[in-house]
């Protein structure tokens, strides 16, 4: 191979469009050479000679002969170089309570946690469930497992016992790490009580390590429950690093449940760590002095890649927040940014829309002057919210990075170039990351080569962060991801198009695209138009069987607070008119339902499959609803549709 290492690792490549294009073209023509030039960004105990190998299932294995430890890369190497540098700023939901944890302190606490796991007899043969809120011990637990090569399953601490049990049974986990309780919006959530109920559902003995943070009364089983502070108080703050293969399972994340039964996505070590850290560095314009806050929870990919592994692997300060965007004040996010001088910030569209509901108070007296870049990921950000985020929060001087990614990818493969001019074009998810080759295909599987033409989105070249497998069923990875094209490329399940500048626009899930009177219509386009009415806080558009059109259009609407009585009374007409006049009479909703809330997963994604069933009149079987944060709204919507 030609030695292009310095050129291929050019740090300004995501700021300079010409340099980006040159490097990108090289990475597509010579993907193995490109990724080979990146591997020394990580510290390996055995540097890999092989870059990538295809498997019989259709996916690829990255750096298969390499050995690496994720914890060493995120903790030890930075503690050795700069032990006093702040690794984590933990912010309580009580604004005055926070903690700064140095890399040196982080290493001690992770080692103490790892020694506790070893002393309790937990080995690499176990799958440990981590059911933790956004507290330091949750980060310690993940890194301690990584230090010992113990695979773990991260489960969002907002999940109910049924959802927890489903995930524990799927990966046959016999150990769970959690807290006595968590705090969410000022309310105590009894996590230990949820664990006790999940044990009964699982029907087997499951041992727990409980971090007593809230001091509430909990049931205790002396044979199954272990108090973390008691156990760890006797443990040393030094623990040897275990040698792990690049292909070792690092963790499992279960998909959020927007489809029937959640599936366990297994992520490896070397490839995932390189991809998450590299995309974090480029997309968020990271330097050594950056203070980064990715508000995603570690129970989801956004939190794992861009709050935990990406920032810590890059050796920068990461902020973790125990609370929610609207408590104790609707301006709390921006107050935290001012308080800790956050330079790069990333959040979910749901958080932005929640804060927009009370625009007058949402920014408070904050300046947000430390911000240099703002980002959003998880789903499409509607136009109204995009402009509020860019104009008000970012003061029109922060690039707004609108990203697209999936749990299965281990991170984000597309985002806009990091320069202000590119940020003024609302809605697109930007350019492809180095080594990422996207393609669009029509219903017959033929390539779509021209701009502005929607099609099914594929990834034609493997990326290092991609899933190793789906837990418990090796063949699932072939069936779900690699069998939809003749050439075995990765099927994302999304529909998209690209514009004349090469920017990609995600129009929605393939299953969500409406077919009305023979016309393929993106529900997102209708949702965007409805949002322009100025009276709508949230909207979801789904299809339902229609005797004439084949498929009708049903719009579920949550109105903004504080709108006039006149607008509320005329909401249906206002919405119909704006869709008819802005898009086409064909796209005017057949049914408009004004509801108080929309069913969402705990990561904030609207559950369209639930709304499709409601719109079609089917209220009998919603399949798995354990991932829904507000299940009571389903019955409310069903009741309103009958009236």
Q: What is the pTM of this model?
A: 0.84
* Domain regions of the chain by residue span: 43-84+96-270, 435-511, 513-642
Provide the angle, in degrees to the nearest 10, between the axes of the packed helices 191-202 and 161-170.
50
pLDDT one-digit tens code per residue, 378-410: 777 777 888 899 999 999 999 999 999 999 999
On average, the pLDDT of the chain sits at 89
How many Å apart are CA 350 and CA 356, to the nearest integer? 10
Report whether 89 contacts 291 (CB < 8 A): yes
Q: In what order do the strands lie in the sheet with 317-321?
A: 98-102, 86-91, 317-321, 291-294, 344-347, 373-376, 400-402
Q: Is the pLDDT of residue 3 over 60?
A: no
Rama region for 363: left / alpha / beta (φ>0; ψ in -120 to 50; rest): alpha
DSSP tag of 253? E
Would you mind telling me the total number of residues written for the chain in this entry? 643
3-state SS record for 43-103: CCCECCCCCEEECCCCCEEECCCCECCHHHHHHHHHHHHCCCCEEEEEECCCCCCEEEEEH
Mean pLDDT of the region 464-476: 88
Instruction: Select the more confidently predicted residue: 604 or 242.
Output: 242
Report pLDDT digits (tens) over 568-618.
889 999 999 998 887 777 788 999 999 999 988 766 778 888 898 899 887
- pLDDT interval class at 185 (50, 70, 90): confident
Per-residue confidence (pLDDT) for residue 419, from 0 to 100? 66
Q: Indicate the SS3 state at residue 603.
A: coil
The tokens for 588 are: 């005017």
* pLDDT tens by residue, 479-507: 888 888 778 899 998 889 998 888 899 88
What is the number of other CB atoms lying within 10 angstroms of the CB of residue 215?
Answer: 8
Q: Check residue 576 and give its pLDDT.
A: 92
Are the C-beta atoms of residues 43 and 72 closer than 8 Å to each other?
Answer: yes
Q: Which CATH superfamily is domain 513-642 in?
A: ANL, C-terminal domain (3.30.300.30)
The average pLDDT across 459-473 equals 93
Q: What percent of the chain has pLDDT over 90?
A: 60
Kindly tell me if the per-residue pLDDT of 421 is higher than 80.
no
528: CB partners within 8 A, 6+ apart = 382, 383, 427
Alpha helical stretches, state H, 203-260: 228-232
Task: Compute the average pLDDT of residues 274-278.
Answer: 98
Nearest Cα residue to 114 out of 83, 169, 76: 76
Give the pLDDT score at 617.
85
CB contact at 8 A, 50 and 320: no
- Residue 516 — very low, low, confident or very high, per pLDDT cuts 50/70/90? confident
Least confident of 201-205, 304-308, 543-547: 543-547
Q: 205 pLDDT exceeds 70? A: yes
Please give the pLDDT value at position 384. Answer: 81
pLDDT at 33: 95
Residue 498 DSSP SS3: strand
Q: Which one of 2.30.38.10, 3.30.200.20, 2.60.40.10, 2.60.120.260 gives the CATH number of domain 435-511?
A: 2.30.38.10
Please report the pLDDT score of residue 346 as a whole number.
96
- At the topology level, CATH places domain 43-84+96-270 in Rossmann fold (3.40.50)
Quote the tokens at residue 370.
């430390």
Closest CA to 490 of 516, 517, 448, 460: 460
């Amino acid at each position: 191979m030609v030695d292009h290492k310095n050129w291929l690792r050019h740090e300004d490549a995501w700021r300079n469009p010409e340099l980006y294009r040159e490097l990108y073209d090289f990475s597509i023509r010579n993907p193995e050479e490109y990724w080979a030039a990146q591997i020394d960004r990580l510290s390996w105990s055995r540097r890999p000679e092989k870059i990538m190998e295809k498997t019989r299932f259709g996916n690829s294995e990255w750096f298969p002969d390499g050995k690496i430890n994720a914890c060493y890369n995120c903790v030890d190497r930075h503690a050795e170089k700069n032990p006093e540098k702040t690794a984590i700023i933990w912010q309580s939901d009580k604004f005055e309570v926070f903690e700064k944890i140095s890399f040196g302190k982080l290493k001690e606490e992770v080692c103490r946690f790892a020694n506790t796991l070893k002393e309790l007899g937990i080995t690499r043969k176990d799958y440990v469930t981590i059911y933790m809120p956004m507290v330091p011990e949750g980060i310690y637990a993940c890194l301690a497992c990584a230090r010992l090569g113990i695979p773990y399953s991260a489960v969002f601490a907002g999940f109910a016992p049924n959802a927890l049990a489903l995930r524990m049974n799927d990966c046959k986990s016999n150990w769970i790490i959690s807290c006595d309780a968590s705090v969410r919006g000022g309310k105590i959530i009894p996590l230990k009580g949820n664990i006790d109920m999940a044990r009964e559902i699982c029907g087997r003995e499951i041992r727990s390590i409980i971090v007593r943070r809230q001091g509430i009364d909990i049931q205790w089983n002396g044979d199954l429950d272990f108090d973390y502070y008691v156990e760890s108080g006797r443990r040393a703050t030094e623990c040897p690093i275990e040698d792990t293969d690049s292909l070792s399972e690092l963790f499992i994340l279960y998909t959020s449940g927007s489809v029937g039964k959640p599936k366990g996505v297994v992520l490896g070590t070397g490839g995932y760590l390189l991809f998450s850290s590299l995309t974090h560095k480029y997309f968020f314009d990271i330097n050594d002095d950056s203070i980064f806050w990715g508000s995603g929870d570690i129970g989801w990919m956004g939190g794992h890649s861009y709050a935990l592994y990406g920032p810590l692997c890059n050796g920068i300060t990461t902020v973790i927040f125990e609370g929610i965007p609207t408590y104790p004040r609707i301006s709390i996010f921006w107050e935290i940014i001012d308080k800790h001088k956050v330079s790069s910030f990333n959040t979910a569209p749901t958080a932005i829309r929640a804060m927009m509901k009370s625009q007058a108070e949402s920014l408070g007296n904050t300046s947000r002057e430390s911000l240099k870049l703002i980002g959003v990921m998880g789903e499409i950000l509607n136009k109204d919210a995009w402009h509020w985020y860019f104009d008000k929060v970012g003061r029109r001087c922060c690039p707004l990075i609108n990203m697209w990614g999936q749990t299965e990818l281990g991170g984000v493969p597309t985002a806009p170039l990091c320069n202000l001019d590119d940020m003024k074009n609302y809605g697109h998810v930007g350019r492809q990351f180095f080594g990422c080759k996207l393609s669009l295909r029509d219903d017959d599987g033929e390539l779509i080569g021209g701009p502005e033409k929607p099609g099914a989105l594929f990834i034609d070249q493997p990326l290092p962060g991609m899933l190793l497998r789906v837990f418990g069923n090796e063949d699932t990875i072939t069936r779900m991801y690699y069998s939809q094209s003749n050439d075995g490329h990765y099927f994302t399940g999304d529909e998209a198009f690209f514009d004349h500048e090469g920017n990609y626009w995600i129009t929605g899930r393939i299953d969500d695209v409406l077919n009305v009177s023979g016309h393929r219509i993106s529900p997102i386009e209708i949702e965007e138009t409805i949002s322009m009415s100025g009276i709508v806080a949230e909207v979801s558009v789904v299809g339902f069987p229609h005797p004439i059109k084949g498929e009708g259009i049903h719009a579920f609407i949550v109105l903004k607070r504080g709108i006039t009585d006149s607008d509320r009374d005329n909401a249906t007409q206002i919405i119909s008119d704006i869709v008819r006049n802005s898009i086409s009479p064909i796209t005017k909703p057949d049914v408009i339902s004004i509801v108080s809330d929309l069913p969402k997963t705990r990561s904030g994604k609207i559950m369209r499959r639930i709304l499709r069933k409601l719109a079609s009149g089917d209220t009998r079987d919603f399949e798995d609803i354990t991932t829904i944060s507000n299940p009571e709204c389903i019955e409310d919507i069903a009741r309103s549709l009958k009236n």
